[in-house]
Structure 1
């Protein structure tokens, strides 16, 4: 429950940040729905933890793609390379989009394993496969980036 409350408080700050009244109402409604689901269905809620984490990561990365924002991967890249050239800025935007896709896919499959109800499949995917997939994506992107910078 403390984690849920922290998520709600964090997202309430997001709701206050310049959204239209209808979007604020939708966001608040979704938060209430999530909290109600966690209270009413504690077993499903416990299994849904990976879904929530992946959705949070998706929102975090996707928010950074909005107009006027610096993409999250660009912010990370600028720690090492403050004077990032335009080619790098474009590349980091594309990598941020890639991570949005990764988090959307992993959230969807995690949700499917919860709905499926087979705890062995849930454990296999959420305890092993998802980590291998994310690590593989990271390694492949790193290798591609190394090759891309040389060309």
Structure 2
């Protein structure tokens, strides 16, 4: 049952840009402001269960919702994808400073005795993901002030396609890398 909040957050985050767009189009800014509330509640539950990161995500959601509500603007709501990218950038960058890296931890799930070449490789992949999250946050920030359909297109489709391409490209390269490094 520990996986349920993570799955819920994932599904809400993936569908979030489309939900914002449709709410803005049919119900207006006032209704869109409240779209972060379910995400904040799930993070709040995670925080109460002792997950420290839940408090940070809850605080971010509350601040974005409060900002939008006080301004009666959807800008705070549209910043959620930026905050997610910046949060992931921080997690990945932190793991570079304090190993094992996020990618190494994931790799060790399949290969507990990861060789030294694999550890070095996962470190480089973590750096690449940091670059992706930084670029994604910058582009997502630029779309906050664009038309709603531009924001939705990038944050609800293009960023996920780019992430999928990075995952697929890394997987293909890893197959080559492993064939060259048999230690």
Structure 1: 5+ residue runs without aligned partners? 15-27
Partner of 1:63: 94
- Conserved 8 A contact 1:114-1:122: yes
Partner of 1:78: 108
Partner of 1:119: 148
Kindly indicate whether residue 127 of structure 2 is the aligned counterpart of residue 97 of structure 1.
yes
Q: How far is 1:128 from its partner?
A: 1.3
Write out the 4+ residue segments of structure 1 that deviate beyond 6 Å after TM superposition. Answer: 30-33
TM-score by length of 1: 0.75
What number of residue pairs does the alignment pair up?
134
CA deviations over 1:33-87 (Å, ceiling 9, x no partner): 76753543451111112111111111111111114x2101000101111111100
Kindly indicate whether residue 169 of structure 2 is the aligned counterpart of residue 143 of structure 1.
no
TM-score by length of 2: 0.63
Partner of 1:133: 162
SS in 2 for 1:65: helix
Partner of 2:138: 108
Distance in 1 (CA, whole Å) between partners of 2:113 and 2:124 is: 18
Distance in 2 (CA, whole Å) between partners of 1:119 and 1:52 is: 18
Structure 2: 5+ residue runs without aligned partners? 1-36
Kindly indicate whether residue 80 of structure 2 is the aligned counterpart of residue 45 of structure 1.
no
Partner of 2:117: 87
Distance in 1 (CA, whole Å) between partners of 2:113 and 2:53 is: 32
Distance in 1 (CA, whole Å) between partners of 2:125 and 2:171 is: 10
The 3 A distance-change label for structure 1 pair 60 and 43 is same
